[in-house]
């Protein structure tokens, strides 16, 4: 009986910990970045881009990238923008929302 109660308590503790970790801002940003990376690979052939980039001379790399970005579909640019925002927020540790904690608001004022 003691072991069943112990298992039940530990299962709840592990579940609460997993939910806290997965509900964290860095976990959410990582999930968004993974989704964007998957979507990007579906829209763009990375091997073809790398092959075309290897044929460009060093001085023309900027023009190649500009031409690739301006010649792509809007969905690809949107996926890149969301990925860039999530990556920036991941590095910054930003939650993306204002804190509603009274002590935080008091300190900001």
Does pLDDT of 104 surpass 60?
no
Give the residue among 48, 82, 75 at the shortest CA–CA distance from 64: 48
In a domain, 3, yes or no: no
Task: Give the domain extent around 43.
Answer: 25-95
In a domain, 100, yes or no: no
Are 40 and 48 in contact by the 8 Å Cβ rule? The answer is no
In a domain, 6, yes or no: no
In a domain, 74, yes or no: yes
In a domain, 49, yes or no: yes
* Number of domains present in the structure of the chain: 1
d(CA 24, CA 10): 21
pTM of the full structure: 0.61
Lowest mean pLDDT among 31-45, 60-74, 81-95: 81-95
């Amino acid at each position: 009986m003691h072991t069943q109660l112990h298992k039940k308590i530990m299962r709840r503790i592990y579940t609460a910990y997993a939910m806290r970790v997965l509900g964290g801002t860095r976990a959410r940003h990582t999930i968004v970045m993974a989704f964007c990376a998957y979507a990007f690979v579906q829209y763009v052939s990375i091997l073809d881009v790398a092959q075309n980039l290897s044929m460009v001379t060093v001085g023309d790399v900027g023009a190649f990238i500009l031409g690739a970005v301006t010649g792509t579909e809007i969905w690809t640019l949107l996926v890149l923008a969301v990925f860039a925002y999530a990556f920036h927020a991941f590095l910054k540790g930003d939650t993306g929302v204002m804190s509603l904690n009274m002590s935080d608001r008091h300190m900001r004022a």
